[in-house]
Structure 1
């Protein structure tokens, strides 16, 4: 009787972190130029003045910038000539300022986005496998629950670093000044002040994550059935990520609008010591936006968000799945060589 092949060894959490970290780097490299061009196009219509805030997002996380003086933001919007459109902006920025200008703001993103993404994706896989083992099945609710819990954990871990980063970007600070500022904030409001803004971030990111993983697993399984495949290919993962990311982005857009409004309010003052009444509850802020701009105001930025989120999700998840497959094959080879 022929011997059964040994079961495929699972990949380790460290290998999962490497795969997700690689995906985060590639996502940043591909998506950052899109947002740099968007900011430059916006800036030529309404130049940034002193104290002007604007948000920059490269598909992994948001960045808040505040112009402190006339030259504070020139790296983002100085234009040798007018841009007539997106393609024209790509060409002229590359020609006059060098191709590196398309990746402005990338280093601070990688410092935080890579570890945050590694924590999030690794936590999701571990939680999903744990819940499936406990339930003894692959219920459709498991990706939803695992995605929500993983995102909540990642947001909680990264939230103080996000607040500190926002503080450093809002105005020039030395590390000594930053340390004094943090100590002062903690002494005045307690350690929980370092998690200010956690609520609206969770309200936006946790539903997005739950919807994303729920739809991703469904779409991927359906595409595998249509192609009569046992495992998803790179193309199937890419399409599944784009579709699920688009659906989640649309459904959670009102929470993204609220988070953006809160970030701008933080940029207008002290990011670590914003008054408690400056930003009311999320529900009240949504009502205020609706009263000011109507229901459409809650879905402001619909097209840019979808255009940005869909490729970012597609690149991230397909790279992550490819990385996991690579490590699974590597572990199989090591297992065979050790027999």
Structure 2
């Protein structure tokens, strides 16, 4: 009980503004580190299976998904053809930097930051606030983390979903703000306000269980590592390790929902690119059955290794950065209180 009280006290010493600053720093650093990995992955994919006009692919750097539509097969910044064929990941890094400059490794970073930072701020701040409220009531840090993680993610997905729809529509083709407004008004007139939350269901099925498992395992793993190494407070390496482990577990369990969401995004994107009205989307269960009938049960776990290679470092960098800045602000606030006394 004493340990829980100390944990809550440590968290409540951080103001909401400081939590926002800490989560923003984590989102920025994660985007900077993980974006080059996804740029290289997309280039290698395009080399092995060239994108045809109207074909969609999903760009994801561990924080946000971006649906991209191929216009002429070769002009998009994310998958320009190299002078010679890439022989592997390391060669792709070298060729991209040599031929296009270092900045090309961060293609697609601006839209990531526009969406990822607000979403991350809402999510992490709500999580901390909810956890502080629940931890005394449930009398268990892991359970409080599980409930808070699921609730915070549900709220963040619901709030961000309309903005994600707007961003996705702007990625299909260049739109002025007037055209975008018209597009949204037509969508609302035809299908109602709920059309702004299209895709909310698959996002919730993937992100809410992921978040619940992530925070539960992170809390458990962090506590276990602190006991193992006789630390009263988690250090950056402990937070990094616990974040990577918990992120990997959650990514593995929720991968089938991620496959369904990606498949649905691509199908809707290709219909939109051909100026066809999207059909009524099938349920998540029906989509799963279709994937199993086409590719077998292993089809639900397609792309497991790339997802783990992306999610594990993204989770580790995000949480360790967040915990580092929280510890920094906690120390700063304590020093200010001592000076005031």
Q: Which residue is equivalent to 1:44?
A: 47
Map 1:68-147 → 2, pairs under 5 A = 68-73=71-76, 75-135=78-138, 137-147=139-149
Q: Which moved more, 1:9-18 or 1:223-232?
A: 9-18
1:11 maps to which of 14, 24, 28:
14
Q: 1:12 deviation in Å?
A: 0.7
Counterpart Cα distance in 1 of 2:299 and 2:279: 24
How many Å apart are 1:134 and its aligned residue? 2.7
Give 2:164's match in structure 1, choosing from 162, 165, 169.
Answer: 162
- Whole-Å Cα distance in 1 between the matches of residues 131 and 211 of structure 2? 13
Q: Does 264-273 or 195-204 show the bigger shift?
A: 264-273
Contact 1:66 / 1:267 at 8 angstroms: preserved in 2?
yes
- Whether 1:62 and 2:85 are equivalent positions in the alignment is no
Any idea what SS the aligned residue of 1:54 has? strand
Aligned pair in 2 of structure 1 residues 124, 185: CA closer, same or farther (>3 Å)?
A: same
CA 1:285–1:313: 2 relative to 1, 3 Å: same
Q: Kindly state the Cα deviation for residue 73 of structure 1 after the two structures are TM-superposed.
A: 2.1
What are structure 2's unaligned runs of at least 5 residues?
1-8
Which residue in 2 is equivalent to 1:4? Answer: none
Structure 1 range deviating more: 103-112 or 169-178:
169-178
Deviations 1:193-230 (A, max 9, x none): 10000000000000000000010000000000001111
- Residues 290 and 138 from structure 1, CA distance in 2 versus in 1: closer, same or farther, beyond 3 angstroms? same
Stretches of structure 1 lacking an aligned partner (at least 5 in a row): 1-6
1:239-268 CA-to-partner distances (Å, cap 9, x unmatched) read 000000000000000000000011001111
| Structure 1 residue 60: Cα displacement | 0.3
- 2:193 is aligned to 191
Q: CA deviation at 1:170?
A: 1.3
TM-score of the superposition, structure 1-length normalised? 0.94
The answer as to whether partners of 1:44 and 1:77 remain within 8 angstroms in 2 is no
Q: Kindly state the Cα deviation for residue 276 of structure 1 after the two structures are TM-superposed.
A: 4.8
Q: Please tell me whether residue 172 in structure 1 is matched to residue 165 in structure 2.
A: no
Aligned equivalents of 1:303, 1:177: Cα separation in 2: 40
Q: Looking at secondary structure, tell me which structure has more helix per residue.
A: 2
Offset at residue 71 of structure 1 (A): 4.8
Correspondence 1:148 to 2:131 = no
The question of whether the paired residues in 2 share the 8 Å contact of 1:76 and 1:104 is answered with: no
Count of residues in Structure 1 that have an aligned counterpart in Structure 2: 331
SS of the residue aligned with 2:144?
helix
Matched residue of 1:269: which SS?
Answer: helix
Counterpart-to-counterpart distance in 2, 1:336 and 1:74: 53
How many angstroms does 1:70 deviate by?
4.3
State the Cα RMSD in Å.
1.6
Deviation (angstroms), 1:128: 0.7
Deviation of 1:139 (Å): 4.4
Deviates more, 1:103-112 or 1:125-134: 125-134
Residues in 1 aligned to 2:19 and 2:293: alpha-carbon distance in whole angstroms: 45
- The range that moved more, 218-227 or 184-193, is 184-193
1:328 maps to 330
Q: Using the alignment, how far apart are the partners of 2:184 and 2:289 within structure 1?
A: 32
Distance verdict in 2 for CA 1:160–1:75, change over 3 Å: same
Q: For the Cα contact (< 8 Å) 1:185–1:273, is it kept in 2?
A: no
